[in-house]
Chains A and B, each alone.
Chain A
Amino acid sequence: MKIDEELVAIDLEVNSKEEVLSILGNQLQEKGFVKEGFIESVLKREQSYPTGLPTEPFGVAIPHTDGDMVHVSKIAFASLKNPVKFFAMGSSDVTIEVKVVFMLALKNPADQLEMLQKLVGLFQEPEMVAKLARTKDINDLNKLFKAEE
């Protein structure tokens, strides 16, 4: 399991979830992995179906949208210098302080399933979430996934 180097943003300085979603979405769009309008679609979906997860010691978010906005299934990553607020998945009023964002560009349900399962495995261990939040570069990040294998 690997994340492409050009889809990684470490210690990103942003003030809102909209900002981080735009930055990650732009990276995906520039590479031609997603269709035009992907970012707007993710932002809209985040309002109706928020993706913040109340993991420890920091929250994680997994923003995504419908598969018809995606050309090539990919996952983009950002760690945030300062946390931003996401609404909690399955809630309309609980907010989560998120420091780690995985933007999922998935075309079909089976795409990247193994990777998604690994991510969720990492989310359930506070030590791993802490490590994700302080990764220094792409190699560091991919090592974390490898350690899970």
Chain B
Amino acid sequence: MHKMKKLLIMCGTGIATSTVVKGKVEEWLKENNLNQEVKIYQSKVSDEINRIDEYDVVLSTTLVPDKIKDKVINGVPLLTGIGIESMYEKVLAEIKR
């Protein structure tokens, strides 16, 4: 059994936008037959700053501190509908890496 990729979805509270984004990403994983390859985690930014390297892919709907900025993909497109495709391209690249 191969190791599943860890995908973290985070927002400021871990309660509102990350929940919506999680639902959408789950659908997308299924549509692309990736749901057996990726495990989703949901949290808030402040809880994850110090263990961000445990994840393979990180999506955030909020601004993150500079030190983890390079690791994080902006998930706001999933809330506005603007820029979804290029966002998923980045996510896919990280999953396949």
Contacts and interface: CB of A to CB of B under 8 A. Distances in A.
Do these two chains really belong together in a complex?
yes
B62 A66 contact: no
B17 A89 contact: yes
Contact of B81 (A67, A106, A123): A123
Contacts of A62: 16-17
Given A90-B61, A90-B62, A120-B20, A53 B15 contact: no
B16 A64 contact: yes
Nearest to B21: A120
B76 A108 contact: no
A106 B12 contact: no
B14 to A, nearest CB: 7
Contacts of A67: 13, 15
A64 B15 CA distance: 9
Interface string B1-45: 000000000011111111110010000000000000000001001
B12 A104 contact: no
A113 interface: yes
B50 interface: no
Contact of B20 (A45, A66, A91, A117): A117
Given A109-B42, A113-B23, A117-B23, A90 B16 contact: no
The 10 closest A-B pairs by CB, nearest first: A49-B12, A124-B81, A49-B62, A109-B19, A90-B76, A64-B16, A116-B20, A109-B15, A120-B20, A53-B80
21 contacts: A45-B13, A49-B11, A49-B13, A49-B45, A51-B17, A53-B80, A54-B80, A55-B80, A55-B81, A65-B13, A89-B62, A90-B74, A90-B76, A91-B63, A92-B63, A108-B15, A110-B19, A117-B20, A123-B79, A123-B81, A124-B81
